[in-house]
Copies of this chain bind each other. A is one copy, B any other.
């Protein structure tokens, strides 16, 4: 069974040494007292919860899966999941970064980010139960009526109830404008909702007393397409006036999906048969309200893959140090043993370092982004709030798609390190690969993310958001321009920045002629943009490590070695991606549909 050690040292490096986070928090009225000791204490406890309570349930949860009782429509999560969830609620983890007005602890999103990274490493399937709730919390916090807020937010904050997002229907996922579920207004101001939803993560389970479904449906007079969709709260049990649980609503789990991975999470088909709901936000503006949740969820999905990359790396390293097989080509490295540990082999190291470089840069990027959200939500300075919002908007599709593609590569590499044993369930490595695969699909496929990045976020505002991020890169490059030791990092960083700028201009011109040029280049483009962000964070991390390497702490030596590996072996991928992106649309459209 795999093991998991919370990467507290590396988180602290990012928080304190790279981002100087306590100083950042001091500027935010809501978080001015969140000092380093508080942060470290929270992370240590969060790490214990992740590694001691939910990590031991990951493999067993995968093997057992969820079970539906077809008569009662009740679902049982795998053994131990319910008890672990009770501990989660008891520990107050659900409330960590929630609004104190509803019982939350009001701590920064940045800390929640670290909590979730660790929970995702420990058990992605389990973590989706509270993860979906947090999304529902955010959508209701932003768009709920005062009554909805007072009814639901305290329960979601405590974790007593969980939440879901009910979007997809059998004939539409990406294209929500086609959805058919109907909402009939009732005399009492509620709605009766009828329809079928599929792929509802955490859609039914025995972890919590009630489930707060957020459901997209159409009002009778709604315009066609995506401008006619409204958002409703449809609770499993209708709350009574005093907030306690009342009557069972007519929203049921009709089947569970058999999936490639995340077996421990109940992916439900949900039937709504005149289920009672209340409207969230404005009629026909449901997608806007849901996008609050979607954006948080997209960051959350990237974070799932960050967690999987880290845990796969840890286990592959342990195996590579332990497994004896063959001698190094350059001669025995452990002559006293029957063979060398496989970590001596260059390609084994390459696979391990790929995962490590992805995990560490992904962590820096994700924590930095969480900090931007905290600043966006809590800064006194409106310009700063706007600037941070722009950074978050730009980075969200990159975190979603780049980190999930990277995890697919990294978990597969880490499994490969185990040779044939990697393919065997009991070692747990193949589960990381299977679990990671869904992250490239849900909450908007990675193709959709790339269109969001290139089409909407970049070309859609004439590159303004990209320029803002580019300014950070430019400032850093200029600041280090005369620092001899930093040249090996800032030269390739400046180079990839220049290339991305040129490519963006070129694609903008092409898209002007034919909008499909965006779709032809977007996936390559997103990956190049991801590398620019990674190169930026690796250069910044290298700077800190260079300054501190004299301390004798091997952490900084390892950080520098990983940075050098990244620039030498991973960043070069962009050379091929740029060529492919520039090759444009024509090679994709020459084939007639009938000839495929």
Contact = CB atoms under 8 A, between A and B. Distances in A.
B588 A565 contact: yes
Contacts of A447: 345, 347-348, 416
A519 B434 contact: no
Given A523-B350, A580-B568, A420 B199 contact: yes
A260 B321 contact: no
A499 to B, nearest CB: 12
Given A419-B445, A424-B259, A561 B591 contact: yes
B419 A412 contact: no
Interface in A306-352: 317, 320-321, 324-326, 328-331, 338-339, 341, 343-350, 352
Contact of A420 (B442, B580, B587): B442
Contacts of A425: 257-260
Nearest to A316: B596
A168 interface: yes
A257 to B, nearest CB: 5
Given A420-B168, A573-B576, A568 B595 contact: no
A325 B450 contact: no
Given A260-B433, A433-B260, A445-B416, A519 B175 contact: no
Contacts of A572: 576-577, 579-580, 583
A317 B338 CA distance: 51
A589 interface: yes
Contacts of A485: none
| A interface, over-half SS | helix
Contacts of A573: 576, 580
Given A423-B260, A424-B258, A590-B564, A585 B346 contact: yes
Nearest to A329: B515
Among A343, A515, A565, chain B packs the most CB atoms within 10 A around the CB of A565
A558 interface: yes
Contacts of A257: 423-425
A544 interface: no
A244 interface: no
Interface in A548-596: 554, 557-558, 560-562, 564-565, 568-570, 572-577, 579-580, 583-596
State the oligomeric state as a number of copies.
2
A174 interface: yes
Interface residues of A, number: 104
Contact of A593 (B171, B321, B592): B321
Nearest to A511: B329
A326 B175 contact: yes
B329 A589 contact: no
A523 B345 CA distance: 12
A426 interface: yes
Contacts of A352: 596
A388 interface: no
A430 B430 CA distance: 13
Contacts of A455: 329
Interface string A344-379: 111111101100100000000000000000000000
Contact of A441 (B260, B345, B420, B592): B420
Interface in A510-532: 514-516, 518-520, 522-523
A509 interface: no
A437 interface: yes
Contact of A437 (B339, B423, B522, B583): B423
A446 B343 CA distance: 16
Interface string A170-201: 01111100100000000000000000001100
Nearest to A570: B580
A588 B328 CA distance: 14
A419 B584 CA distance: 24
B317 A596 contact: yes
A422 B450 contact: no
A36 B85 CA distance: 67
Contacts of A451: 329
Contacts of A576: 572-577
A415 B424 CA distance: 22
A587 B575 contact: no
Contact of A423 (B261, B350, B356, B515): B261
A543 to B, nearest CB: 18
A116 interface: no
Contacts of A564: 587, 590
Nearest to A314: B596
30 contacts: A178-B338, A258-B425, A258-B426, A259-B425, A260-B424, A320-B596, A321-B593, A329-B451, A343-B593, A344-B593, A345-B447, A347-B450, A349-B588, A349-B591, A350-B520, A408-B412, A415-B437, A416-B446, A419-B445, A422-B441, A423-B438, A434-B434, A560-B590, A564-B590, A565-B587, A565-B590, A572-B580, A573-B576, A574-B576, A575-B575
Pick the 4 closest A-B CB pairs, nearest first: A572-B579, A568-B587, A346-B519, A260-B430
